[in-house]
């Protein structure tokens, strides 16, 4: 018998009688919080920065003043040719992104309860981008903030996702004597622009 058959037959023989799958009643979680305020607070709690912009078109100029003199920049925002100093088409391997300074991506879901933003293959041209960049900038419309992860998954369900990630804050670790250090293997900072 192959291990597959072995495992499946044992799982079948050893499992208990069928138990029902609980129905989730999302009403039990409602706490009436101000979503935008909660979202911003949580981003700061997890070590990110929040910037309010009135219109999306102002993001680039604000990023440039926050991070002056960066060499390798890339953004998926429209009309940002002047900002982009690298071209993804010219890359041979994702490894060449190692020196990327700033990456700007758009997200279409923000979760108030934990300050996480959803990115999927639709928004990430090369999967390693948001992890390998030194500084990550995410842009989100206020309208796209949902209260809990449950609602985020309702939105995600309708799209076919090959790879997706919730990002909440910059990369961090507390593995040396429990002191929190921002900037482990992934991005050193996260800035979220909300418009």
Nearer to another protein, 141 or 159 (CB): 159
Q: How far is the CB of 46 from another protein (least distance, A)?
A: 7
Closer to another protein by Cβ: residue 8 or 61: 8
Closest CB to another protein among residues 67, 166: 166
Cβ closest to another protein, residue 7 vs residue 57: 7
What's the token pair of residue 119? 């990115």
CA max distance for the chain: 65
Minimum distance of another protein from residue 27's CB (angstroms): 9
Q: Is the distance from CB of 112 to CB of 148 less than 8 angstroms?
A: yes
How far is it, in rounded angstroms, from Cα 96 to Cα 154? 36
∠ at Cα 94 (92, 100), nearest 5°? Answer: 110
Shortest separation between residue 101's beta carbon and another protein, angstroms:
15
**Contacts of 141 by beta carbon, 8 Å cutoff, 6+ apart:** 108, 194, 195
Minimum CB–partner distance for residue 96 and another protein (Å): 10
């Amino acid at each position: 018998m192959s291990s597959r058959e072995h495992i499946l037959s044992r799982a079948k023989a050893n499992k208990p009688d069928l138990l029902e799958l609980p129905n989730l009643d999302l009403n039990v979680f409602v706490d009436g919080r101000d979503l935008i305020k909660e979202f911003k607070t949580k981003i700061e709690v997890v070590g990110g920065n929040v910037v309010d912009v009135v219109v999306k078109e102002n993001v680039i100029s604000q990023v440039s003043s926050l991070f002056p003199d960066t060499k390798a920049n890339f953004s998926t925002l429209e009309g940002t040719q002047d900002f982009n100093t690298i071209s993804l088409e010219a890359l041979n391997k994702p490894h060449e992104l190692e020196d990327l300074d700033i990456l700007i991506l758009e997200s279409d879901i923000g979760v108030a309860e934990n300050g996480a933003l959803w990115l999927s293959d639709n928004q990430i041209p090369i999967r390693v981008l948001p992890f390998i960049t030194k500084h990550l900038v995410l842009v989100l419309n206020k309208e796209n903030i949902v209260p809990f992860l449950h609602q985020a998954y309702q939105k995600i369900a309708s799209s076919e996702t090959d790879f997706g990630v919730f990002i909440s804050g910059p990369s961090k670790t507390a593995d040396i004597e429990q002191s929190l250090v921002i900037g482990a293997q992934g991005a050193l900072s996260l800035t979220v622009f909300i418009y």
